[in-house]
Structure 1
Amino acid sequence: MTVKKIINHLKRRLSVMAAALVCASPCALALPPDAYAAHSVLAEGSWSKISVETSGMHFIPASTLRSWGFSDPSRVRIHGYGGARITDLLSTETYTDDLPEVPALRTPQGIYFYATGPVGWEMEAAVFRRVRNPFTSAGYYFITAGERDGATPAPTGTPGCAAAPATDFLCPALHELEEAPMGEMGHNVYGEDFRLRPEQKISIDLPGRAEGTPVRLRTSFAVRSAGASTLEISAGGKLLGSPLQIPAVAEYHAGSAATASFLIPADGITDRLELTYSLRRSATIQAARLDFAEVNYTRRLALESGNPLLFTLRQPEGRLEGAAELTHVWDVTDPLAVSEMNIAREGNAAMWTNSATGQRSYAAWTEGMRMPCPRLVATVANQDLHDASAAPPDMVIITVDAWKGEAERIARLRGEGKEKLNVTTVSADLIYNEFSSGARSVNALRRYLKMVYDRGLKSGRQLRYALLLGRATADNRGLTLTEREHSLTLPTWQTDEALAEERSYTSDDILAMLDDGSGADARNNRLSIAVGRIPARSTTELKAYVDKLYDYENSSAEGQWRNRVMVVADNGDNGAHTDQAETFCARVDANGHPALMEKVYVDAFELDGGVCTEGRRRMYRLLDEGVMWWHYTGHGTEDYFTAEKLLTTSDITSLYLRRLPVLCAVTCSFLRWDGSEPSGAERIALKPDGGAIAAISATRRTFIGDNALINDALGRFALARGDDGRFLSLGETLRLAKNYIADTSPAAEGRTRYVLLGDPSMHTVMPDCSITVDEINGTPVEPGTQPVVTGLQTAEIKCTVTDPSGSTIPNFNGTAEATLYDSDRSTVTLGRPAAGTEGRRVTFDEHGDRLTVALDTVTGSRFTLRMHIPADIADNMRPATLNIAAFNRSGSRAAACHRDIYVAGTDLSALPDTVAPVIEYAVLNHRGFTDGQTVNSEPVLLARVTDDTAINLSTAGIGSTMTLRLDDSRTLPDLSSYYSPQAVTEGAAGTITYPLPRLTTGSHTLELRVYDTAGNEATATLRFHVSENAGPRISEVYTDTNPASTQARFYIRHDRPDAILDVEMEVFDMHGRRLWTARNSGRADSAGSSPMIWDLRDNGGHRVERGIYIYRARITDTSGHSSVSSAGRLAVTAR
């Protein structure tokens, strides 16, 4: 089903919302074209970047300007808006474009200007509350020199006062240290540590306090302890109010906080407030820290300390004492439109009446006062992200500077791929310069994307994707990171909540909310573009991941895994996880049964010592065979799935997969990518030698109700097609799923906790082309018909490869393979309780056992499958499943999963078959195995079997199932699943590659029994000895390029199929000098390695001369046992 059909269906159900529902190209609101400058001011001229730490008046001496390269201070201009936090709300009222000029006063001594730092104050309930920018510890500005004069504050107001002027004001003061977070979440960083010193004193200066006035204190304190704590706060030796009661920390909380406000009487207060904090505990304390102490007091409106005065008045009239001849009063309510008050002098007082009404902020200062001087950060090269003539991109890759090369590699991959995307790569630092006045900010990235998106809408080619290359961290300011670590991060949006995990999360959704007016409420804002992030922690890790992207895009691993989906569900919670998994499957199937669904539900298996052993075995077998989508629903943590150990940390380490799935884990915190340690999803997706190609999961705890919405929505779009007929990209799948939730459940917050680790423009390996079944045994397959094939019958199934529109592809020539599964069966779960929750028996349907497989050659898009149906079938007249895949040498692929075929009855006219199958060989680890040989403790059975008709793969019968018995006492499970067919002209042939479980040291026997579809039997017995010390053996090292002129490919044959090996290849000259070494680690292919390629250059990068060279190999297993090959010779020709 296409996205358009899904949307039309939703319109019929939700007519009220129909106008809001969109498909792959949504309508959106855009700022007017003139909201964006055609070019940035940084596009020309010479620029320097400066920083300030606080808000207030700043002075740059002329001598400092000259040292910075500005010879004429009178021509210096200042641009930017400092370090105030950028609001999440996108609107014309909140948007500041590029770098506006800052009004300043230029004197022969230097330049005075008002700067905005990262901490400000907002009025709330008649007192000031601090507002901190959680993304930066400084504000930034840009200075340049030009021919024109710079902006100056415009004079305003009336000198003098007609009414009673303000002579004092409410002044805020703050004590706040930022030393460590309570937990790795949220923006807040906490101060003094009280664990070893439970009583501590702090002091807050109150300069200019009006005598006889009280002081208002608001303070907050956090504790992490299993017991309750009590906090006493004293001022001047007097206890303030009642002691604060801080409760024991709740589960999944980083701490418990107590916030209180006090009115401190004027008695005994001087110009310094002395506070004492005394902590009393009832249990061991893991953390205890003061958060902040905010003070509001009445201050005289006077220049008394030799420093500038910042103040806020609610009335337009003011009287400032302590003024001098060169005193200025600036209205800095809007720091980009500073005005100078016209003042009248009366002795040492300055008086004015502001023409603007309402609450206004001021800075009063006298030339020559002590003022901070900004710090020179760097000289800035010209840049112009605002360039209106740039072609609108389909995709933007935002990267840290260190990873520009890898960003370009991804851009080339997508630019040269099927969609030929126009991809722009851009450094985050350049975005900060033009979109947040040089400060790190997640909303700088968003504002840049907003500009690109709006311009794309106007041009008709809108932005579709944004990919972030940068580690995620809750510590956006890098207070707890090294400089190197911080340089590899890109900012993350976080909730302000930093203690309660159920209310704290991080998400990249804000970057996709690009409609006007969006951002105020993340729960119901729609996503305009698809966003993903690759949170690598090193250049090496990122390069390995980009290598995986290239390998995935160009994967030669053909077969039915490309349309196989594995759905895994946890138990407990009254069967909710199983229900949600079934909903996901139903939604996927509603798109036309595009995939083969494999179900692994924990509650369908018995437990072995609390471990779901059989479920584990089935899940990992399917992963080994290959699935394109790995979907999990249930309980999880940052490190693992399920209490029944379905996926553990050690499993992740050893998850060496050749066919990479997309992992979607609908569970808690499995993609907590902003922690100090990588999450399970990061370890899987960023694993260089296996794992997954991408991951969708939650960054924090989620709730069952929200997960139900996610499962439902993802199922609708995971295998839906776009208007172009292609399956949706991974980013579009998640975007549309989230928009569906926003439209249908606007109050649901859970969707925002789910993020994409990976390239949002990436398509899965699911083939876009399909396969139709045209005839079965000569009977055309028409809609509504129920074709039946019978036991012992050789069914002929004629098929056609079609493009996404359903048209035949005449030039498709290649190979087709298919598997027929028996009729559906119903399974009832056990209904076990789990993790303190009730269980419930749930009935679910799944396809039957594998009956038979077939191969054929595709010619002109057409092929015929000849499938030999075994006698042993379920025979229950429920639908069977026929999964088909086709591929050709040019890389085109098709797949389909047909559910409109039935397997029932027996062909009574079938001729008797008395010819037994043949086991051509059955060995362990290597074809050179001999009976009685010593092997390692986890050997692999390798066998090839043939039959004149067909090998029986069914497990429905008794006594005719392919089996493998160990020591005549234990039947090893699921052998037929490890059978792979081979193309032959007559009869059937295939191989078995079966990894044995870990065996005890000593002598053992294996008996292999194979049957054909008529029940004829063949057996083979192996005798062998197991030793823990049996190391790997190299049987052959060879090259297929001898002599070599441009490169040499080396291959290694050994006796460790499917094992994790370190492989080392060396080349020496005839004097024994080592010229070249290459190493590779990973999972071995069968009994050999992928080629190791030598470009005929030595380790110094120089091309070797013509001559004879010696090569050899070494392999080492995970136990440290190794084997070195004999030497071979390679001839190298002249260049």
Structure 2
Amino acid sequence: MRYLVILLFSLISVSLFSQTTTPVNLNWTENLIVYPNGEKINTLTFTGASLDEHNSWLPEYSYLQLTGSTNQIFTVELFDTEFELLSSTERQVLRNKTISNSINPSVQSVSIRKQNYLQVKFIPIRKNSLTGQYEKLIRFSLKFQRKSQPKSVKQSKSYLTSSVLQSGKWVKIAVNTSAVHKITYSQLIDMGISNPENIRVYGSGGGMLPKMNSENSIDDLPNNSIYMDKGTDGIFNSGDFILFYAKGPRSWKFDEISNEFVHENHLYSDFSHYFLTSDMGSPTLIQSVSSLPSSNITVSGFDDYAVFDQDDTNLLESGRLWLGSTFDVTTNYSFNFSFPNLKTGEPVLVSTNLVARSSSATKFTLLSGTSSIGEIEIPAVNTGSYTASYASNIEQVFNNFTPSSSNFELSLDYEKSSASSKGWLNFIRVNARRNLLFTGDQMAFRDSKTIGAANKAQFDLQNTNNQTLIWDITNPQSIKSLSADFSNNTSSFIVDASILREYIACDPKGNFPTPSVIGSVQNQNLHALDQTDMLIISPSKFLSQASQIADFHKSKDNLKVTVVNPEDIYNEFSSGSPDVSAIRNFVKMFYDRSTDESDMPKYLLLFGDGSFDNKSDRENNTKQILTYQSENSLIPTQSFVTDDFFGLLDDDEGEASGMVDLGIGRFPVNTTEEAQIVTNKILNYNNSEWGDWRSMVCFIGDDEDNSTHMRDANKLAVQVETDYPEYKIKRIFLDDYEQITSSAGQEYPDVNLEISASVNKGSLIMNYTGHGNENGLAHEQILMLDDILSWKNPTKLPLFMTATCEFSRFDNYKKLSSGEMILLRDNGGGIGLFTTTRLVFSSPNFSLNQNFYHHVFDLDSEGKHLCLGDIMRKTKNETGSGINKRNFTLLGDPALRLNYPTHSAKTIQINNVDISQPTDTLKALSKVQISGQIIANTGEKLNDFSGTVFSTVYDKATTKSTRGNDENPFEYTVQNSILFKGKASVTNGDFNFSFFVPKDINYQYGNGKISYYANSMNSDAFGYTNSIVVGGTNPNADNDKIGPEIELYMDDEQFTPGGMTSSSPLLLAIVQDSSGINTVGNSIGHDIIAVLDQKTDQPYELNDSYESELDNYQKGKISYRLSDLETGEHEIQIKVWDNVNNSSENVLEFIVADNADLILKHVLNYPNPFTTNTGFYFEHNQASRELDVLIQILTVSGKLIKTIETTVNSAGNRVGPIQWDGKDDFGNSIGRGVYFYRVKVRADDGKVVNKFQKLVILK
């Protein structure tokens, strides 16, 4: 069957005449439950599906086909289709849903970085017209065919090449209302204007810029016409003034559908701004225009409007809807309106926009006095669901109220249906007709009733004098003074009324508002900037740190980087007022000016936190860089914040619609300290320590929702294992661990320990799938702020991918989210996050997460890994439609590359047999020799690579089942049984190592795996081999009956039994055995186990903590960090098995010291007695603190003969050796005999302690 769709879109010139996709197989999975508006919806889904919120949340298939750059008409065919009947369970989902008899793809031309694509989307379900059965599409292909010649292509927008602000003296002013404003000569002098007679006013003022790119925005600062009063002497000097019309921040426009004037509050500023200068030539004066000779309409009335609309409350702390009066304790509010010379015989139009939250329907009553004008019914909401609409919003218009006077009062009364019901006023607005009678010192007027294509309207403005000025302000940048005929206190003029025009009349001798002075503006010229690779937008207080990031990318990545203050952007792109569209338009200027990929902007870094409150100047607000908020503000699953807005740059894009055209990241910093912390992370990241953490990817899966999240996490892990097997995978599935019950509910303490261990040991990527919120992850409260603060990984910073709800809600100024803390954490945390800011759904999360792994390991055309911004851009653009993907953001540097290993490590021989030939099976109790090489990306051996290779040999994959703590157990396959873990030398690109295969392998035959990580002084490599066969046993094995030797220490190998430690000491065990150490753990009781304080029911399993010594499989070290130990005496017992299953045990006693008081123990010198040199040692309880040490050598009579002073900062609790050569302060050797010495230690908090000991010199 075939489905045919025709679309006009773009194509690379003659390079693509037709193309057929490879067959697509849809992997349908079990039904999915979502709660988009508090309502439980059961829907179908398949791997990679998006959920179509506009079509009953059914699964949507989406595909992008690259086309090109000249317009063509194409057909899109869906063919070779295979369908499958829906099961009875699946059919239940389609109840009350409209399903077509055929699949009808929607097609759209989209552009990504000026390359055109065809986007095909459809719901792959049909109701078979022949059988009446519901069917799902399981296999198909798409074919694209060109059908016609190209059509013209719209040219990109052009921009001014320089800003008027590039030179001269400029002063910025502010106004808060649309009106004629007055500035006197003396005021101009006070502002520093040197030549007032040449004063000019620049700017567009007014409301917000449009958020769609297709709507025009003013480029730079336009010049405004002004009225100049020079007095009787004709010279502009003292006593004179200028008048100019300025638009305030609230905008009004005529809605032809509702036939009323509607308003829009400014979301970012309570003021609009203009600029004054006297350095641009003579002033531009308002020019007069003559009245038309005749009219066919006479105007004696006009439209006026007023509104009460206060922006005080944002219910969800998300979106653009801000509300005013609260109807709760107070349930009635009154509003006074005044329309001078109101046409009292005509009804006014009253518009109300009201919001209520109640579990049952409520209503407002609009009143005039005690008379009801009408009722506004507000529907109920589900107050018991956090995903449901938080409140209902109703706008209603009344045209049945005729005031009896120009001044009238309206009131709103809220009838609560329960004590918890609550209401809010968004606005109450009145449109009224007034007589055309001049009132006050100025009056704006317009008349919608006279509009007509051929109309010529005569306006008769009464109550004027022959000095009254009448201006046409329809175009505020080109104001015209109307020459009116004056007679009998009436000014008459005839104008074209084919469009709606705006006028204002004023008395030049009247009182006018005066603008507020903001201050002088430094010269700037953003319009003249050269094309750039990276834009960094930073408030002035972070410019130092932003410049450090810029210099880093210039030198390291050869990027052209431009750092810009957002205030400068506002000055040139939004007339000095904050506006998200100004930032977008600034970025778009570089995009539109680019001619090809080489000069197109690639990255945008927003260097500053954001807030859902983009306007308030409250002290704790975090609006360093403005945020784009969604229009929806009441439904939690559909209200969002997204930085994607700044990267939707094509002419047909805007709001949250379109494809992202550059990589965008944000640093959510509010202080210079935070800015420097994040900056230091970026600068130091490429100098991170070497280690196999660079090849580790950790997947964490929540245990809720019938194992959905563990299943998804496992699919992602399998995806990486399959596509990129050189990477090591670690799985942390919550249901694998013991769940305990506490006063706070269910908890997984061991999961927190495991995650922290993975972070501290190091991972390239930490990936979480499941539930979460601003405080942490999962219902069991993992990864909370305290956990993040406990991490110690300053040189092993992972990237976090969190497919969960609002983990990084950076725009909530009232709370620091856990996600933000991961980036802001000093000396640890993460290097960045692909993370969520609002509620999201698991199925589209999974699709986006899958697409993330399509790109995170990708290489660009130069063979380099993609930067974080490229990964995020490609991931989002590949993830179909829907708002879910807008809830993901990059907190981090978009131009940064992760620390991927550079080269490859390959196995060359096993037991001297080339890997390309059949090799020996790795049998239990056999010795194996592996040889390998470090290979460059070009395929050649790296002869200059010398260093260390870390090898891990794994047994076969096994199936594992989780515990089933909450629901049914989840089964998955994992290859994590380690046969050997060690390190070997790499010399001139070659390495080899040997190991002993443990007795505890799985004796069945199957493929094992070898993973490699290697590093030299300046480079690294990684690789794998999965063709080795493991199984069986060596019948000729040696008869080893002796267990391993074990030496136990704390913190370092100088520790003595009974010594002091901190509450989080590092357990060290040096172990050796001729057969090697068993780390497999396949047999019960053969793991490396540590038991603290004889608590055998709480053992520590240390298999993964063992690492062999360099080039020696028979000896190695166990390193494990204990944590949160109680003060006092402890003992730890460790049991280790060799590969032949002989075991040994050892016990170590130690003391966790309270660090409230400084304590010294085990003060000694060694050797003692000595002849020429000795070293002083002591233990203390002030781990990781700076200590001043004074050692004084005294004779038995108390004479001081030698003083040694030093400062130490030991990582553990032991200091030494502090060396002494046996000479006095004058360099003379001291004679033999007994001496005393005093060790005096001072901590950085002033605490001091002394200890005396004696020593003996033999000479």
Q: What's 1:759 paired with?
A: 893
Q: What's 2:502 paired with?
A: 361
CA contact (8 A) 1:120 1:131 kept: yes
Q: What's 2:1020 paired with?
A: 893
Q: 1:397 to 1:823 in 2, by over 3 A?
A: same
Query: 1:707 offset after TM fit, Å?
Result: 1.0
Higher relative contact order (CA 8 A, sep 6+): 1
Query: 1:172 offset after TM fit, Å?
Result: 1.7
Distance in 2 separating the partners of 1:249 and 1:639: 24
Q: What's 2:1132 paired with?
A: 1006
Say whether 1:588 aligns with 2:720. yes
- Give secondary structure in 2 for the equivalent of 1:386: helix
Alignment size in residue pairs: 1051
Distance in 2 separating the partners of 1:377 and 1:988: 75
Q: 1:412 to 1:1078 in 2, by over 3 A?
A: farther
CA contact (8 A) 1:875 1:904 kept: yes
Q: 1:477 to 1:575 in 2, by over 3 A?
A: same
Say whether 1:847 aligns with 2:847. no
Give 1:723-1122 correspondences, 5 Å limit: 723-741=861-879, 745-746=880-881, 748-782=882-916, 788-829=921-962, 842-889=970-1017, 891-919=1018-1046, 921-925=1047-1051, 927=1053, 929-931=1055-1057, 939-966=1065-1092, 967=1094, 969-970=1096-1097, 972-984=1099-1111, 986-996=1112-1122, 1005-1023=1131-1149, 1063-1064=1185-1186, 1114=1243
Say whether 1:271 aligns with 2:402. no
Say whether 1:320 aligns with 2:460. yes
Distance in 2 separating the partners of 1:337 and 1:588: 62
Query: 1:875 offset after TM fit, Å?
Result: 3.7
**Most deviating of 684-693 and 530-539:** 684-693
CA contact (8 A) 1:823 1:875 kept: no
Quick one: which of 638, 646, 669 aligns to 2:806?
A: 669
CA contact (8 A) 2:169 2:279 kept: no
Q: 1:318 to 1:494 in 2, by over 3 A?
A: farther
Matched to 1:543, the amino acid is: Q
- Give secondary structure in 1 for the equivalent of 2:298: coil
Say whether 1:46 aligns with 2:169. yes
Q: What's 1:335 paired with?
A: 476
Say whether 1:628 aligns with 2:757. no
Distance in 2 separating the partners of 1:34 and 1:1029: 67
Query: 1:1031 offset after TM fit, Å?
Result: 7.1
Say whether 1:295 aligns with 2:383. no
Matched to 2:245, the amino acid is: Y
Q: Which runs of 5+ in 1 are unaligned?
A: 1-7, 834-838, 1039-1050, 1071-1075, 1091-1109, 1128-1135
Matched to 1:630, the amino acid is: M
- Give secondary structure in 1 for the equivalent of 2:527: coil
CA contact (8 A) 2:441 2:511 kept: yes
Q: What's 2:754 paired with?
A: 618
Distance in 1 separating the partners of 2:425 and 2:661: 41
Q: 1:1034 to 1:63 in 2, by over 3 A?
A: same
Over residues 1073-1131 of structure 1, what are the superposed CA-to-partner deviations in whole Å (9 max), with x where a residue is unaligned?
Answer: xxx99999xxx8566899xxxxxxxxxxxxxxxxxxx9966379xxxx9887999xxxx
Q: What's 1:104 paired with?
A: 226
**Most deviating of 822-831 and 378-387:** 822-831
Q: What's 2:550 paired with?
A: 411
Matched to 1:58, the amino acid is: H
CA contact (8 A) 1:10 1:18 kept: no
Q: 1:829 to 1:339 in 2, by over 3 A?
A: farther
Distance in 2 separating the partners of 1:1010 and 1:927: 19
Say whether 1:119 aligns with 2:250. yes
Q: 1:83 to 1:863 in 2, by over 3 A?
A: farther
Query: 1:508 offset after TM fit, Å?
Result: 0.5
Q: 1:900 to 1:906 in 2, by over 3 A?
A: same
Matched to 1:99, the amino acid is: L
Q: Percent identity?
A: 25
Q: 1:147 to 1:977 in 2, by over 3 A?
A: closer
**Most deviating of 426-435 and 763-772:** 763-772
Q: 1:300 to 1:394 in 2, by over 3 A?
A: same
Matched to 2:775, the amino acid is: D
CA contact (8 A) 2:1062 2:1212 kept: no
**Most deviating of 443-452 and 1016-1025:** 1016-1025
Say whether 1:601 aligns with 2:733. yes
Q: 1:583 to 1:211 in 2, by over 3 A?
A: same
Matched to 2:874, the amino acid is: L
Matched to 1:48, the amino acid is: V
Q: What's 2:136 paired with?
A: none
CA contact (8 A) 2:1184 2:1212 kept: no
Give 1:634-645 correspondences, 5 Å limit: 634-645=770-781
CA contact (8 A) 2:1087 2:1102 kept: no
CA contact (8 A) 1:158 1:355 kept: no
Matched to 1:780, the amino acid is: D
Say whether 1:370 aligns with 2:511. yes
Q: 1:473 to 1:442 in 2, by over 3 A?
A: same
Quick one: which of 169, 174, 178 aligns to 2:307?
A: 174
Distance in 1 separating the partners of 2:910 and 2:1108: 22
Distance in 1 separating the partners of 2:856 and 2:597: 30
Query: 1:738 offset after TM fit, Å?
Result: 0.4
Over residues 56-112 of structure 1, what are the superposed CA-to-partner deviations in whole Å (9 max), with x where a residue is unaligned?
Answer: 322323332233233554421221111421112224x51322112122233324323
Give 1:163-202 correspondences, 5 Å limit: 163-202=296-335
Give 1:384-783 correspondences, 5 Å limit: 384-388=525-529, 390=530, 392-417=531-556, 419-457=557-595, 460-479=598-617, 481-482=618-619, 485=621, 489-520=624-655, 522-523=656-657, 525-556=658-689, 558-609=690-741, 610-658=746-794, 659-676=796-813, 677-741=815-879, 745-746=880-881, 748-782=882-916
Distance in 2 separating the partners of 1:943 and 1:377: 68
Distance in 1 separating the partners of 2:949 and 2:1250: 39
Q: 1:229 to 1:804 in 2, by over 3 A?
A: farther
Matched to 2:891, the amino acid is: L
TM-score, structure 2 length as denominator?
0.77
Query: 1:842 offset after TM fit, Å?
Result: 4.2
**Most deviating of 507-516 and 242-251:** 242-251
Query: 1:262 offset after TM fit, Å?
Result: 4.4
Q: 1:354 to 1:909 in 2, by over 3 A?
A: farther
- Give secondary structure in 2 for the equivalent of 1:501: coil
Distance in 2 separating the partners of 1:1088 and 1:529: 52
- Give secondary structure in 1 for the equivalent of 2:951: strand
Q: 1:655 to 1:960 in 2, by over 3 A?
A: closer
CA contact (8 A) 1:227 1:284 kept: no
CA contact (8 A) 2:349 2:397 kept: yes
Q: What's 1:4 paired with?
A: none
CA contact (8 A) 2:982 2:1107 kept: no
Q: What's 1:3 paired with?
A: none
CA contact (8 A) 2:539 2:565 kept: yes
Over residues 339-363 of structure 1, what are the superposed CA-to-partner deviations in whole Å (9 max), with x where a residue is unaligned?
Answer: 4445444543334443462223333
Over residues 669-695 of structure 1, what are the superposed CA-to-partner deviations in whole Å (9 max), with x where a residue is unaligned?
Answer: 111101021111011211113221211
Distance in 1 separating the partners of 2:865 and 2:111: 13
Q: What's 1:1042 paired with?
A: none
CA contact (8 A) 2:760 2:791 kept: no
Over residues 685-727 of structure 1, what are the superposed CA-to-partner deviations in whole Å (9 max), with x where a residue is unaligned?
Answer: 1111322121121111111232122112112112222222222
**Most deviating of 336-345 and 530-539:** 336-345
Q: What's 1:1046 paired with?
A: none
- Give secondary structure in 2 for the equivalent of 1:652: helix
CA contact (8 A) 1:1035 1:1125 kept: no
Query: 1:898 offset after TM fit, Å?
Result: 4.0
- Give secondary structure in 2 for the equivalent of 1:510: helix
Q: What's 1:78 paired with?
A: 201
**Most deviating of 908-917 and 70-79:** 908-917
Distance in 2 separating the partners of 1:428 and 1:213: 48
Q: What's 2:352 paired with?
A: 219
Query: 1:756 offset after TM fit, Å?
Result: 0.8
Distance in 2 separating the partners of 1:707 and 1:256: 26
